[in-house]
């Protein structure tokens, strides 16, 4: 015989002793649950601290806040009576702080600058501590001199990282400007800059030398003295790495002198102050 639940008589309440024991056990059960939740939260925090960062920006953004130079430091200078780069011969550079970290921006566009700092290659360059090592890296890696990797600038992204990094919407920073920032942080001497401009092995090394002066030189009046000998230079290279943008060093130098924002890389600074 089946029983309809709706017709069933109400269940009798448990004895008073049973109710009392349940009330007594309730705080213990709640305490165990809270302790379990607390232990789980601690374990999750420990796992996040030990495990590698899942997303690119989660650790790198904080690292950039702590060290905008990415571990890259000024080169070591020789003593006055020794051979080598001398600090007294350093080319004076502008020191215009970026609005985010207060570190020198060297007239590089703020979004491009932040993108370079967030990139792995910039942090890897900290291992290169001498001018010669950086020039060798430029020789092997740089095949274009645009601020952004060709084909990436202006493309929009709706991915998770684009809103946080602020880089995907603008493009991927180019290797030439990554190397350029590295050279700015090394603080080159006049002899080192001349060796860039006259380098016989790669026009891209030369182009980066001219960008170093165009963006970073403190006394703009010196620019003509640096650039004038190369106005007729016919050494050819490709600005974005393709034959469609073929140019010569002479044409490139003239463009740097006449364009207000060479290769759309400069920020919007109005004053030039020497680097300390």
> Which of 22-26, 72-76, 107-111, 265-269 is most confident?
72-76
Higher pLDDT, 6 or 171: 171
Q: What is the mean pLDDT of residues 232-256?
A: 96
Same domain, 33 and 73: no
Percent of the chain with pLDDT over 70: 67
According to DSSP, the residues that pair with 94 across neighbouring strands are 274
Same domain, 102 and 238: yes
Same domain, 79 and 186: yes
- Residue 132 CB-half CA count within 13 A: 3
Same domain, 183 and 123: yes
The reported pLDDT for the residue numbered 28 is 57
Percent of the chain with pLDDT over 90: 58
Distance CA 27, CA 21 (A): 11
Q: How confident is the model at residue 29 (pLDDT cuts 50, 70, 90)?
A: low
User: What's the chain look like in SS3?
Assistant: CCCCCCCCCCCCCCCHHHHHHHHHHHHHHHHHHHHHHHHHHHHHHHHHHHCCCCCHHHHHHHHHHHCCCCCCCCCCCCCCCCCCCCHHHECCEECCECCCCCCECCCECHHHHHHHHHCHHHHHHHHCCCHHHHHHHHHHHCCCCCCECCCCCCCCCCCHHHHHHCCCCCCCECHHHHHHHHHHHHCCEHHHHHHHHCCCCCHHHHHHHHHHHHHHECCHHHHHHHHHHHCCCCCEEECCCCHHHEEEHHHHHHHHHHCCCHHHCECCCCCCCECC
Distance CA 234, CA 183 (A): 25
Same domain, 99 and 19: no
Distance CA 159, CA 169 (A): 10
Q: What is the mean pLDDT of residues 139-143?
A: 98
The reported pLDDT for the residue numbered 262 is 65
Domain around 41: 12-51
Task: Indicate the range of 42-51, 87-96, 162-171 predicted with least confidence.
Answer: 42-51
Task: Indicate the range of 45-59, 78-92, 121-135, 209-223 predicted with least confidence.
Answer: 45-59
- Would you give the distance in Å from CA 186 to the centre of its chain? 16
Same domain, 43 and 155: no
Same domain, 130 and 254: yes
Number of domains in the chain: 2
Same domain, 248 and 111: yes
Closest CA to 107 of 268, 273, 276: 268
> Which of 2-6, 41-45, 113-117 is most confident?
113-117
The reported pLDDT for the residue numbered 19 is 61
Q: How confident is the model at residue 20 (pLDDT cuts 50, 70, 90)?
A: low
Task: Indicate the range of 71-85, 92-106, 234-248, 261-275 predicted with least confidence.
Answer: 261-275
Same domain, 17 and 118: no
The reported pLDDT for the residue numbered 168 is 45
Closest CA to 178 of 118, 246, 252, 268: 118
Q: How confident is the model at residue 240 (pLDDT cuts 50, 70, 90)?
A: very high
Same domain, 129 and 16: no
The reported pLDDT for the residue numbered 272 is 45
134 within a domain of the structure (yes/no): yes
Q: Can you say whether the dihedral through the CA atoms of 120, 123, 129, 134 is positive or negative?
A: positive
19 within a domain of the structure (yes/no): yes
pLDDT digits (tens, 9 = 90+) for 67-102: 999 999 999 999 999 999 999 999 999 978 888 888
Same domain, 25 and 83: no
Distance CA 37, CA 251 (A): 67
pLDDT digits (tens, 9 = 90+) for 185-229: 999 999 999 999 999 999 999 999 999 999 999 998 999 999 999
60 within a domain of the structure (yes/no): no
The reported pLDDT for the residue numbered 268 is 39
Please say whether the beta carbons of 253 and 213 come within 8 A. Answer: no
Task: Indicate the range of 59-73, 123-137, 162-176 predicted with least confidence.
Answer: 162-176
Same domain, 77 and 206: yes
Average per-residue pLDDT for the chain: 80
Q: What is the mean pLDDT of residues 27-44?
A: 56
244 within a domain of the structure (yes/no): yes
């Amino acid at each position: 015989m089946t029983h309809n639940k709706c017709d069933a008589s109400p269940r009798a309440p448990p004895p008073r002793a049973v109710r009392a024991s349940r009330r007594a056990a309730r705080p213990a059960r709640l305490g165990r649950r809270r302790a379990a939740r607390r232990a789980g939260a601690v374990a999750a925090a420990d796992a996040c601290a030990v495990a590698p960062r899942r997303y690119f920006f989660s650790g790198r953004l904080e690292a950039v806040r702590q060290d905008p130079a990415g571990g890259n430091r000024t080169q070591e200078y020789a003593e006055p009576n020794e051979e080598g780069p001398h600090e007294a011969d350093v080319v004076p550079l502008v020191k215009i702080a970026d609005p985010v970290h207060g570190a020198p921006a060297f007239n590089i566009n703020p979004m491009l600058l932040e993108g370079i700092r967030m990139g792995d290659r910039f942090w890897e360059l900290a291992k290169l501590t001498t001018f010669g090592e950086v020039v060798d890296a430029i020789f092997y890696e740089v095949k274009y001199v645009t601020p952004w990797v060709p084909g990436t600038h202006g493309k929009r992204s709706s991915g998770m990282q684009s809103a946080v990094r602020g880089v995907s919407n603008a493009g991927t920073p180019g290797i030439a400007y990554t190397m350029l920032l590295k050279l700015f942080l090394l603080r080159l001497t006049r002899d080192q800059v001349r060796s860039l401009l006259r380098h016989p092995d790669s026009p891209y090394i030369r182009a980066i030398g001219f960008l170093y002066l165009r963006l970073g030189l403190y006394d703009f009046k010196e620019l003509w003295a640096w650039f004038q000998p190369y106005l007729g230079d016919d050494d050819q290279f490709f600005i974005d790495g393709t034959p469609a943008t073929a140019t010569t060093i002479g044409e490139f130098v003239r463009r740097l002198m006449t364009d207000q924002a060479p290769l759309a890389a400069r920020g919007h600074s109005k004053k030039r102050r020497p680097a300390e």
